């Protein structure tokens, strides 16, 4: 048995009734829990692969054990996935697309939650329009994205800038992007796809320097970043475990 399969067996068999591979995997199913660690820092609890950003949960109904693993292991070992709505089993050939859909659904709900919190704190027709467009089309215009992401950061509302989608399909939107100020470009840049960033540089837009990504830990709850920042520096918050800060 390869070292890879040895690691897998050591992690799955003690948590299963059946004691051979691949039979043990027939007891397991995807439980629809999904965690975004923000950057590639997690470890697959099945194969022990490092540098994972996304953790999918799997469960064993017979032993009540759970593991958080990467999507590749779900696909490689054909772990059962059932549709969260109708409980229909997802065919193996559609499993990858279904897991991608889980990620998109999480991102959409996160964006809507952040926008709703923003509108509640800062009622404004422009922000309400951005929320309506995000609900309807799943994306923002460049001007909306720059304004929304700038206000979310300023108010310390927890959000993931790279979850937001920016539409550049219309010529007006491309013109709006080119006309934005450097600080507005910096605010929306994380929301642009790699292809959009490449196009933006072709249009003469200078990419902003990488900005630190701040994430409050569970220890900091329920206070937002702005409230903590009034009491301590970023370095102090990181040192005491209230925040993590990385540069992408």
pLDDT in tens, 37-48: 877 778 899 999
User: Do residues 64 and 149 share a domain?
Assistant: no
Q: Is residue 98 part of a domain?
A: no
User: Do residues 119 and 70 share a domain?
Assistant: no
Q: Is residue 99 part of a domain?
A: no
Answer whether 190's CB lies under 8 Å from 198's CB.
no
User: Do residues 113 and 183 share a domain?
Assistant: yes
pLDDT recorded at residue 214: 76
User: Do residues 72 and 9 share a domain?
Assistant: yes
Answer whether 112's CB lies under 8 Å from 134's CB.
yes
User: Do residues 216 and 192 share a domain?
Assistant: no
Q: Is residue 172 part of a domain?
A: yes
Tally of domains within the chain: 3
pLDDT recorded at residue 248: 58
For residue range 162-183, list pLDDT tens digits in order: 999 999 988 999 999 999 999 9
What DSSP character marks residue 13? G
What DSSP character marks residue 140? B
pLDDT recorded at residue 245: 81
Kindly give the parts of the chain with pLDDT less than 70.
1, 211, 226, 247-248
Distance CA(205)–CA(12), nearest Å, equals 50
Please classify residue 8 by burial: count the beta carbons closer than 10 Å to its beta carbon, then call 0-12 exposed, 13-18 middle and 19+ buried.
buried
Q: Which residues contact 18 (CB under 8 A, 6 or more apart)?
A: 24, 26, 27
Distance CA(64)–CA(100), nearest Å, equals 26
User: Do residues 154 and 242 share a domain?
Assistant: no
What's the domain range around 222?
A: 212-248
């Amino acid at each position: 048995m390869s070292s890879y399969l040895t690691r897998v067996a050591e992690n799955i068999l003690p948590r299963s009734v059946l004691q051979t591979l691949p039979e043990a995997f027939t007891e397991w199913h995807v439980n629809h829990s999904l965690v975004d660690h923000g950057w590639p820092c997690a470890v697959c609890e099945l194969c022990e692969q490092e540098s994972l950003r996304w953790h999918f949960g799997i469960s064993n109904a017979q032993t009540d054990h759970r593991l958080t693993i990467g999507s590749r292991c779900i696909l490689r070992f054909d772990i059962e996935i059932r549709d969260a709505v109708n409980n229909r089993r997802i065919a193996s050939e559609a499993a990858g697309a279904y897991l991608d859909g889980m990620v998109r659904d999480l991102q959409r709900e996160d964006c809507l939650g952040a926008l709703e919190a923003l509108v509640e704190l800062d009622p404004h027709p422009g922000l309400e329009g951005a929320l309506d467009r995000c609900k309807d089309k799943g994306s923002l215009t460049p001007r909306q994205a720059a304004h929304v992401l700038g206000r979310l950061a300023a108010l310390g509302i927890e959000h993931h800038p790279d979850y937001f989608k920016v539409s550049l399909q219309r010529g007006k939107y491309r013109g709006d992007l080119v006309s934005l100020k450097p600080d507005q470009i910096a605010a929306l840049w994380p929301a642009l796809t790699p292809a959009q960033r490449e196009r933006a540089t072709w249009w003469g837009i200078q990419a902003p320097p990488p900005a630190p990504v701040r994430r409050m830990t569970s220890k900091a709850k329920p206070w937002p970043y702005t409230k903590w920042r009034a009491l301590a520096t970023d370095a102090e918050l990181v040192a005491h475990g209230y925040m993590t800060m990385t540069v992408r």
